[in-house]
Amino acid sequence: MDYLFRFERTRPFQKEMMDDITAALASRRDILINAPTGVGKTDAAISAALTYAMNNDLDVFFLTPKISQHRIAVESLSAIRSKFNLGINFVDMVGKRNMCVNEKTNAIENEAFYAACENLVKKGNCPFFSRAKLAADTRELNDVLNTGHNSLFEFSFDNGLCAYEVAAKLAKDARVVVAGYPHILNPYTKSTFLKKIAHSMERSIVIWDEAHNILEAANSYFSNAISNYTIERASAELKSIGSPMDLDYLSFALKNIAERRLGSKTEAFIYANDMPEEITSGIEKLNADMERAGLEFVEQSKAKRSSLVRLAKFLEEWNVESDSIARIMTRRNGRLRLTLSCLYPERSVPVFGDAYANIFMSATLVPLEMHAHLLGVGDAVLRSYGSPFPQANRRVFVDSSVTTKYEHRSLLEYKKIAANLMSIKAKIPGNLAVFFPSFEVLDSVHRYMADVSIFRQRRDMKNVAVERLITDFQKSNDSIMFAVMGGSLSEGIDYQNNSIKGIVIVGIPLTKPDLELSAKISYINKRFSGKGSEYMYTIPAVIRAVQAAGRAIRSESDRAVIVLMDMRYGWRMYSSLVRSSLPVEETKGYMFSIEEFWKSKKALA
């Protein structure tokens, strides 16, 4: 089959992947793809899907959880279009807030932004929106779009047009729409979005990039939290605009629920009918009043957010009847917190069945069967591909001499871990990254790393500080970095130029057991025949470890050693999962093997 492929040659496994996608599409089946870094998944998926779509008069959505992942899709589409001189349009869309050119609203954050934008549009008070609506055909913009949403934003800004509206207009004629998950996955926005861009799910192939994130992303659309502090700030906002509204009864209701359900505990399940009926029966009016007052507060005080709007959005979800939502109250440091936690996104999942077909892909979509099960696409094609990078460039060992298992945690154990880390570092000619299951373990081991300078991730580190840490660590040639798994330093980040020569995964990053986790496990047990603990607890922890372990080898010439440091990596339940992603070697004398590995490097050089 001749594919619309931008390069002259395919990489190992790329052609196989394109053929597998085409076969799945031809039989109108979904496909789940687990392919490691380096296979060139984005190019393969776009080429196969676009070729099939062009031949069968379909459209394509390429959806990602992060804006930064749009770039490669846009580059691929631009290159295909010019190489084959195709008369197709594509558009790169990000969320409305990131495309807003109206300086009255674009600094506002979260829910308040969407409420403010909707309010302006409804009243005809956003000139950028009105101009974009009236703008003539925007097809000539296609050259601008070759470089993605940033240039579209600049063009719109220069011409006084709402960039989101311009993008939506262009999307009507687009064969491919690059967008974020929420555009299609969030049922609150999906229908309006599809109508606006005149596309239908039935005629669309949907590529879900980084698909291991889908359920978590979807859960977040239905989860929300407030605290008594939110109510206090909302009351202060009312006071500042001189509103006669009074929220004392909400604070009182919260305290009352705490007395009845929480008592002396720190967390407890609560139920929809714990909220007094006077509140729940009039919730719509209350929400509308709070939203209006919140927007007035934002406008008057030039604030970036509003607790009134936040409270209104929270209460909007409160009355939703669903056993996939857990209501949890916690007390920490004297503060009461009320959380609506989505256990499973049952309102998002039906979208997969609406599409012509879905392509789910990731470098950590393991085990494929679990993902197919959870996504509700049980008859999908499942495919896993090998790494295109030389096997000899990566050695993976297990150190079973220590563990971070809760009942074994002790000062002695932390001391042993620190000593092992120092020995490993001494055998590695370059940077060593060490990933921990929690800050608690990180800090405990750190105490025993005497006289060593360490780039150390800290709790609540701001983005700027994280970026500085990454840059400084990569620049240094002989350092250690301590970070936690499941965080910004262990996932979704490429350490450049083989700047990490060794990775140690200390322990297994299991989620701390709490009420939310137990609610998720029991919900999944009921819905997916007893798989709760495996799907919500064990497997996600191993995936976090594998993600962190994958940070060192990002190109064909990168070389590194990986040590999985915990006796449990030798246990069958963890070992079989890890082995489906990493070529683990059994070796007791792994320190010697590390030394040999780097000597052979010298010999090669």
- DSSP string of 543-560? HHHHHHHTTS--STT--E
Q: Examine residue 120 and tell whether it contacts ligand SF4 (CB under 6 A).
A: yes
Candidate residues 126, 171, 201, 552; the one interacting with ligand SF4 per rule CB under 6 A: 126
Closer CB to ligand SF4, 109 or 232, in the complex: 109
Residue list 151-190, contact with ligand SF4 (CB under 6 A): 162, 164
Judged by CB under 6 A, the stretch of 119-127, 473-481, 505-513, 537-545 that binds ligand SF4 is 119-127
Q: Examine residue 129 and tell whether it contacts ligand SF4 (CB under 6 A).
A: yes
DSSP 490: T
- Rounded Cα distance between 448 and 419, Å, is 8
- Give least dist CB 185 to ligand SF4, A: 20
Q: Report the Cα–Cα distance between both ends of the chain, in Å, rounded.
A: 41
- Rounded Cα distance between 516 and 350, Å, is 24
Q: Are 328 and 343 contacting, i.e. CB atoms less than 8 angstroms apart? A: no
Judged by CB under 6 A, the stretch of 45-53, 117-125, 221-229, 429-437 that binds ligand SF4 is 117-125
Neighbours of 605 (CB within 10 A): 5
Judged by CB under 6 A, the stretch of 125-133, 338-346, 363-371, 526-534 that binds ligand SF4 is 125-133
**Six-digit token string for 64:** 């990602």
- Give least dist CB 164 to ligand SF4, A: 5
**Six-digit token string for 500:** 């990490």
User: Residue 220: in which H helix or E strand, if any?
Assistant: helix 214-221
- Rounded Cα distance between 281 and 153, Å, is 43
Closer CB to ligand SF4, 77 or 100, in the complex: 100
Closer CB to ligand SF4, 53 or 162, in the complex: 162
- Give least dist CB 233 to ligand SF4, A: 24
Judged by CB under 6 A, the stretch of 118-126, 187-195, 347-355, 447-455 that binds ligand SF4 is 118-126
- Rounded Cα distance between 483 and 403, Å, is 17
Closer CB to ligand SF4, 127 or 282, in the complex: 127
* Sign of the Cα pseudo-torsion (138, 139, 143, 146, in order): positive
- Rounded Cα distance between 337 and 324, Å, is 20
- Rounded Cα distance between 12 and 391, Å, is 13
- Give least dist CB 131 to ligand SF4, A: 9
- Give least dist CB 150 to ligand SF4, A: 16
**Six-digit token string for 197:** 């861009």
- Rounded Cα distance between 340 and 325, Å, is 6
Closer CB to ligand SF4, 127 or 350, in the complex: 127
**Six-digit token string for 17:** 């992947």
Q: Are 504 and 565 contacting, i.e. CB atoms less than 8 angstroms apart? A: yes
- Which residues is 503 bridged to in the sheet? 433, 562
Judged by CB under 6 A, the stretch of 97-105, 210-218, 434-442, 476-484 that binds ligand SF4 is 97-105
Residue window 345-374: x/- pattern of binding to ligand SF4, with contact defined by CB under 6 A: ------------------------------
Candidate residues 6, 70, 81, 96; the one interacting with ligand SF4 per rule CB under 6 A: 96
- Give least dist CB 146 to ligand SF4, A: 23
Residue window 40-79: x/- pattern of binding to ligand SF4, with contact defined by CB under 6 A: ----------------------------------------
* Sign of the Cα pseudo-torsion (366, 368, 370, 371, in order): positive
Nearest to 313 by CA among 334, 290, 293: 290
Locus of tokens 């505990």: 265
- Give least dist CB 487 to ligand SF4, A: 31
Candidate residues 46, 94, 101, 541; the one interacting with ligand SF4 per rule CB under 6 A: 101
Give the number of residues in contact with ligand SF4, rule: CB under 6 A.
13
- Give least dist CB 77 to ligand SF4, A: 24
Q: Examine residue 117 and tell whether it contacts ligand SF4 (CB under 6 A).
A: yes
Judged by CB under 6 A, the stretch of 94-102, 292-300, 336-344, 506-514 that binds ligand SF4 is 94-102
Q: Strand, coil or helix: what is 239?
A: helix
- Rounded Cα distance between 372 and 529, Å, is 14
Candidate residues 34, 102, 213, 228; the one interacting with ligand SF4 per rule CB under 6 A: 102
- Starting from the edge strand earliest in sequence, which strands make up the sheet with 224-227, in order? 224-227, 335-342, 325-332, 267-270
> What angle do helix axes 127-134 and 163-171 make, rounded to 10 degrees?
30
> Can you list the pairs that 469-474 forms with residues at least 24 positions away whose Cβ atoms lie under 8 Å?
470/495, 473/431, 473/433, 473/499, 474/431, 474/499
Closer CB to ligand SF4, 161 or 250, in the complex: 161
- Give least dist CB 120 to ligand SF4, A: 5
- Stated length of the chain: 605
DSSP 437: S
- Give least dist CB 409 to ligand SF4, A: 50
User: Residue 489: in which H helix or E strand, if any?
Assistant: none
Judged by CB under 6 A, the stretch of 66-74, 120-128, 341-349, 481-489 that binds ligand SF4 is 120-128
Closer CB to ligand SF4, 99 or 424, in the complex: 99
Candidate residues 48, 74, 80, 100; the one interacting with ligand SF4 per rule CB under 6 A: 100
Closer CB to ligand SF4, 96 or 527, in the complex: 96
Q: Are 129 and 120 contacting, i.e. CB atoms less than 8 angstroms apart? A: yes
Neighbours of 556 (CB within 10 A): 11
Beta carbons within 8 Å of 579's beta carbon, 6+ residues apart: none
- Give least dist CB 129 to ligand SF4, A: 4
- Give least dist CB 293 to ligand SF4, A: 20
Q: What is the dihedral of CA 144, 145, 146, 151, to 10 degrees?
A: 60
- Give least dist CB 45 to ligand SF4, A: 30
Residue window 443-472: x/- pattern of binding to ligand SF4, with contact defined by CB under 6 A: ------------------------------
Q: Examine residue 382 and tell whether it contacts ligand SF4 (CB under 6 A).
A: no
Q: Residues interacting with ligand SF4, by CB under 6 A?
A: 96, 100-102, 105, 117, 120-121, 126, 128-129, 162, 164
